Amino acid sequence: MTDKALREEMVSICRRMNSSGINQGTAGNLSVRSGRSFLITPSGMPYDIMGPDDIVEMDFDGTYVGRRPSSEWRFHRDILKAREDISVVLHCHSVYATTLACHHRTIPSFHYMTGVAGGTTIRCAAYATFGTQALSDNALVALKDRLACLLGQHGQISLGTNLEHALWLAIEVETLSRMYVQALMLGEPPVLSDEEMGRVIDQMRRMSYGLAPDAEGTNDVARPREG
């Protein structure tokens, strides 16, 4: 993908963050790995007026070209530097995820879809002032072996191998957060065992490679037709 096309897709994803309801106003930010550097959204610019040329190019040493980058550039840089398995960092203040984050609630495996974030829980990072190195350090701890986390009294971070994947995951995290908040109204819900979540996560990984979920007893007849 060309630099221009990547910038255009970033603008589109940012606007979809707002239209999907997971972000509001100038909150949230987005970054994408690009060669030996990365692209990141500018500071304080509403997405509906942001254009491809407003996207900021940053090096991993913290220098940049163009507009002033998002105030959260530190955790974007540090996550991309630490996680070679991902290419996109998406941060937003989705309402239900942020509600849980305000209570420093980790999302447990109350629903099997918690596994989409790569583990048995979606952790909540300890609070730190926005834009600081402390926040970045806390986020890295919460994201260990995970693709998403909450940020204490702040919002959520979702990671992806591409822009569409990161947006999809952010919406899933918000959906799970809403379900968990609603389930808590009836009391603390039961959680699935680590053993069961291991089976769930393994099945999700198989399906991500285009394979049917054919674990024992789950797919006895679905198979490609011969001839």
3-state secondary structure of 215: coil
**Of the listed 9, 72, 216, 226, which one is catalytic?**
72
DSSP 63-125: -EESSPBPTTHHHHHHHHHH-TT--EEEEE--HHHHHHHHTTPPB-SSSGGGGGGTSS-B-EE
- Give the total residue count for the chain: 227
Residue 226 is among the residues annotated as catalytic for this protein: no
Only one residue has tokens 């940020």, namely: 151
The alpha carbon of 158 is separated from its chain's Cα centroid by a whole number of angstroms, namely 1
Question: What CA–CA distance (Å, rounded) separates 166 from 88?
Answer: 7
Asked whether the beta carbons of 58 and 36 are under 8 A apart, the reply is: no
Task: Return the exposure string of 185-199: e unless at least 16 CB atoms fall within 10 Å of the residue's CB, then b.
Answer: eeeeeeebeeeebeb
Active site residues: 72
